[in-house]
Amino acid sequence: MTDLITQPIVQYGFVGFCAVLLGIVVWLIQRLLGVLDANNRIIAGNTEAIRAQAKMTQDLLVLNRSMHDKLLSRPCIARRERED
């Protein structure tokens, strides 16, 4: 007699517990997807910053070479460089 009363209660308890666990898993997956989205935005920002830095470095290298050539075109500086 007690089995007829307790068995459905235990089964419904397990069903409820499974529903709670499933809800927690869904919530954790949503949080994980949010973290991954934020991480991808950070990586994209860092990649863009690296590209901008590389472009700036390239421009500075061109400017530096141009300045070097202009300085060497002056006779007094070119003479000193050849003497060293």
Q: CA-to-CA distance for 80 and 6, rounded, in angstroms?
A: 102
**What would the pLDDT profile of 47-77 be if each residue is shown by its tens digit?**
999 999 999 999 999 999 999 888 888 777 6
Does the pTM of the predicted model rise above 0.75? no
Q: What is the largest CA-CA distance in the chain?
A: 113
Q: Which residue has the higher pLDDT, 31 or 4?
A: 31
Return the structure tokens found at 22: 């499933």
Q: CA-to-CA distance for 33 and 12, rounded, in angstroms?
A: 32
**Given a cut of 80, is residue 42 above it in pLDDT?**
yes
**Given a cut of 70, is residue 81 above it in pLDDT?**
no
Say what percent of the chain tops pLDDT 90. Answer: 64
How many residues in total does the chain contain? 84
Q: In this structure, are residues 77 and 71 in contact, taking their beta carbons and an 8 Å threshold?
A: yes
DSSP 74: S
pLDDT value at residue 80: 63
